[in-house]
Structures are given as structure tokens and as C-alpha cells.
Amino acid sequence: MRNYMKKRLVIGISGATGAVYGIRMLEMLKDSDVETHLVLSNAAEKIIQLETDYTIDHVKGLAHYNHDIDNVGAAIASGSFDTIGMVVIPCSIKTLSGIANSFSVNLLIRAADVTLKERRKLVLMVGETPFHKGHFRLMSQAADIGAIITLPSVSFYTKPETIKDIVDQRVARTLNLFDIKLDSFKRWSQADGDKAMDLLKKERGL
């Protein structure tokens, strides 16, 4: 009989602004059926302390498993360790560059490289702007080898009232890419489309 395999998601938080996105993802998944494996870069730990009121111990406590950034022998560094994929949220340009060039200098980049070579889903939420041509080239290079590039953009159609609303919608949208469905995710509906069409008709005098 085949053993039941848990849904495992690797979550990397690197040293770009927006650590709250990764933290909120951990919070949303803490009591779910998804087993989370967290790896924090050294820069991410500093960003968390600068941008949030969370302690590093608290953030690590949100994950089911934690992996040291220098432990390249960790389970998530092996392709035989089954996962549904990996998300780097946020993803710094330095980490993006390492992933795009398969330059596995730490566990976060190694885990991402493993995700790609095993043909699993890798989502990179790039957290730095504005971009120059070299940044676009790296994003294109990462996309060419299988990564999905996303940004912490705002879904204004949901009419967010707080920063938490903005973060929750983007995190839920990202998890949806892994077929993880959350009730907090507000989807565009036919009613929304009908309303938009009515506004367009009024504008055109139809």
C-alpha cells in the first residue's frame, strides 16, 4: 500500500522589503493541511526586525519545520524529498540572480534549484523596485527555466481598507497558484464583470 504523502510547501524569505508577505503566508498555513518548511536568509532576519514587530523566534515558530540557511544537507536540498513546490516571498534581486544562474551558495537558492530541476512549481515574488534592464533579464531568465514571477501588486477591485487586506489578498492569490484555496481570497466574479461593462457602456453613451 502506498503511504499517504503530506502536502509540503517550501517557503523562503529573502532580504527584500515585504517580509510581512512571507510571515502572513506562514500564519495562514499554520493550521492547514499543508506542511511548511521555512528557510530564512541572513538578510531576511534583519529585514524582519526592521520592518515588523515580530521576533525571529516567533516567525520560525509559525513554520512546521525550519532549515538553517547554511545547511545544504537539509531535506529540502534533495529532489527525493517530495514537495508541492516552493515560494520565495519576498525574493530579493540577489536571490533572483542566484536562482536564475543556478548559483546555489545557500540552502534557499539550492532548494529553489531543486524545485526547478524536479519540475515542481517555483514562485518568486520579487520585492524590489524600480527595475533596470538587468533585473528584467534575470526575471526573464528565471521564467525561461520554469519559475513563475509575481509582484506584491494591489488588487484594487477588492477595495482594501487596511494593509492587512492588501497582504492577505496577495498571499492568497499566490497560494492559489499551488492549488491551495483560502476563503479569504476574493475572486473576480461575473457580477464584477457585469458592473465593469455597465460603466463602460455609460462612458460610451450606449
Place of cell 457580477: 191
Return d(Cα 165, Cα 156) in angstroms, integer: 10
Return d(Cα 154, Cα 151) in angstroms, integer: 9
Q: Residue 10 forms beta bridges with which residues?
A: 37, 86
Return d(Cα 55, Cα 146) in angstroms, integer: 34
pTM above 0.75, yes or no: yes
Return d(Cα 13, Cα 31) in angstroms, integer: 20
Cα–Cα distances in Å, from 123 out to 31, 107, 147?
22, 16, 6
Sorted by where each starts, the structural domains of the chain and their CATH numbers stand as: 7-204 (3.40.50.1950)
Mapping DSSP to helix (H, G, I), strand (E, B) and coil, where does residue 172 land?
A: helix
Residue 1's pLDDT is 38
Task: Give me the percent of the chain exceeding a pLDDT of 90.
Answer: 82
Q: Which three cell numbers stand for residue 174?
A: 499566490
Identify the DSSP state of 120.
-
pLDDT tens, position by position, 4-23: 567 999 999 999 999 999 99
pLDDT tens, position by position, 159-200: 999 999 999 999 999 999 999 988 776 666 677 676 767 777
Residue 196's pLDDT is 67
Residue 40 in this model has a pLDDT that exceeds 90: yes
